[in-house]
Chains A and B, each alone.
Chain A
């Protein structure tokens, strides 16, 4: 089988003039570019069968795109896109979506994705909730010191009230975070919380030149919420959350 006819794992799309990132691809395969017009796809020969979403594979995908980002604008693919051969990459991706790809490339040039996740410290959050909601404090006082299997429905009721209060707190904290950071960003995308103590999980698109100011604003949020919210701040990343191909039939 010739190299052209081999299935290709696709990492991302860059301007044709961009140089290839150093290093190797998934399963240590050689990275190469497939060009069409002003665009180039960064690919490597794909292993047979499905791509295992294992630690090494995910890490490699992220690393290749990270190194590509160091060299300029890159439109990252989702993990696991394998096209049947070189022609498919050229025609069905680069040619088929040329206008969308070029448009997004222009929009994303010089910008990075920064992700911020804020998670409540459970004890601090519960203390706040008890202080702010007298009904919760009252119910809790009534239940305290009862055997664990007694008052089952009252316990559930208390838990429901706490859940509602957490939801309220998260609305307040998310909007404070957005108020502080959105003015420094080009765009923000709020993700659904992936577990119950997440106050905010947001991806921001930020101009490279604004990143130091954005860093400082995140630090300030961290200071203001010390002890109650733990912040995880990741980036700069390729703009995973801000690229999109039109829905396919």
Chain B
């Protein structure tokens, strides 16, 4: 059974109906009515997501990555001749989208992505290889 139904619509926005679990996992686990004493959730597998999400908060590693991203960019950025439409095309066609996908997004995709094999999914999020999986 498909977990995500793409709604027809503009090409600029990725839409999902409510059936898409990947989009609603945050709400299901964090929101909704709750009586704390009756909460019986085993978060095995889920805690990985939480840990990963916190890793991205400001750290030296983050700063070095940002610096690298800017430096890498500067080389093409000084070539003023590159028009904006061309840039946009590069971005949508190029592999940059895969590399820049966030850690959490990648992990979530591993857990709820196309694979039906739970063991495989968990392994994916542990190694934080979610973004790589996408490019396969």
For the complex of A and B, the 10 pairs showing the least CB-CB separation, nearest first, are A159-B63, A222-B12, A80-B41, A122-B100, A78-B32, A195-B102, A50-B42, A162-B66, A222-B13, A219-B10
Of residues 37 through 91 on chain A, the ones whose CB sits less than 8 Å from some CB of chain B are: 46, 49-55, 58-59, 61-63, 66, 69, 75-84, 88
For B12, the chain A residues whose CB sits under 8 A away are 219, 222-223, 225-226, 231
Point out residues on A near B: beta carbons under 8 Å. 10, 12-13, 46, 49-55, 58-59, 61-63, 66, 69, 75-84, 88, 92-93, 113, 115, 119-124, 126-127, 129-130, 136-137, 140-141, 143-144, 155-156, 158-160, 162-163, 166, 191, 194-198, 203, 215, 218-219, 221-223, 225-227, 230-238, 240-241, 243-245, 248
A246–B96 Cα distance when bound, in Å, is: 45
For A163, the chain B residues whose CB sits under 8 A away are 58, 62-63, 66
- On whether the beta carbons of B64 and A159 are closer than 8 Å, the reply is yes
- On whether the beta carbons of B45 and A53 are closer than 8 Å, the reply is yes
For A144, the chain B residues whose CB sits under 8 A away are 71, 74-75
Contacts A79-B41, A162-B67, A234-B24 known; list 16 others, CB within 8 Å: A50-B42, A51-B40, A54-B118, A55-B118, A76-B33, A77-B33, A77-B34, A78-B29, A83-B35, A119-B102, A155-B64, A156-B60, A195-B102, A226-B88, A232-B14, A245-B34
A120–B92 Cα distance when bound, in Å, is: 13
- On whether the beta carbons of A195 and B56 are closer than 8 Å, the reply is yes
The tally of CB-CB contacts under 8 A between chains A and B is: 241
- On whether the beta carbons of B18 and A236 are closer than 8 Å, the reply is yes
For B126, the chain A residues whose CB sits under 8 A away are none
- On whether the beta carbons of A81 and B34 are closer than 8 Å, the reply is yes
A-B contact pairs, 22 of them (CB 8 A): A10-B38, A50-B42, A55-B111, A66-B18, A76-B33, A77-B34, A78-B30, A82-B38, A115-B27, A121-B91, A122-B99, A130-B73, A143-B67, A143-B71, A159-B67, A162-B66, A163-B58, A222-B13, A227-B92, A230-B14, A232-B23, A240-B27
A101 CB, min distance to chain B CBs, angstroms: 8
- On whether the beta carbons of A50 and B25 are closer than 8 Å, the reply is no
Closest A residue by C-beta to B28:
A79
Chain A contact surface mostly: mixed
Of residues 21 through 62 on chain B, the ones whose CB sits less than 8 Å from some CB of chain A are: 21, 23-46, 53, 56, 58, 60, 62
Name the interface size band of chain B: 35 or more
For B36, the chain A residues whose CB sits under 8 A away are 248
- On whether the beta carbons of A130 and B70 are closer than 8 Å, the reply is yes
B96-124: CB near A (< 8 Å → 1, else 0) gives 11011011110000011000001001000
Known A-B contacts A55-B121, A121-B96, A218-B13; A126 and B69 likewise in contact (beta carbons under 8 Å): yes
A240–B33 Cα distance when bound, in Å, is: 8
B105 CB, min distance to chain A CBs, angstroms: 7
- On whether the beta carbons of B32 and A243 are closer than 8 Å, the reply is yes
